[in-house]
Amino acid sequence: MTKGNVGLFFFTNDGLLSHKCSLADAERNGDFLNYSESHDDVWQREYARKYHVDFDYFPRGRVIYNARESRFIIYVDRCLSNENAVRVLSDFDIVRLNRKTEFDEHYQCHMCNKNYVE
């Protein structure tokens, strides 16, 4: 089995906050392996009381695995730096040649989303 993890992450003032599982424990949906929880669910359970903002306030993203292509896909907020993307790769134990990074409008923080309402 391929090495690496799938999951979701946030970049807060405290740095990278990740929630992940191995590919063996991931939820399968067709060709894709994914972490079973949403950003909102994790945020409400783990961080809402500490940060006092909604789950989509900070930059965030998700790592999934395409089993058909044997490739990880990392969805990130556009405002995340290359340094932060490298931190995600390391934290999720992903080999650099076995992945692609994509931007998705779904993953926008309050700074990137022009329609964000505080």
Render 50-118 in DSSP notation, one character per residue: HH-S-TTSS-EEEEEEETTTTEEEEEE-TT--HHHHHHHHHHTT--GGGEEEEE-TTS--TTT-TT---
* pLDDT of res. 103: 85
E strand or H helix at 40, and its extent?
A: helix 39-46
- The radius of gyration of the chain from alpha carbons, rounded to an integer in Å, stands at 14
Residues of the chain with pLDDT under 50: none
* pLDDT of res. 105: 82
* pLDDT of res. 116: 62
* pLDDT of res. 1: 59
Domains of the chain, residue spans:
5-103
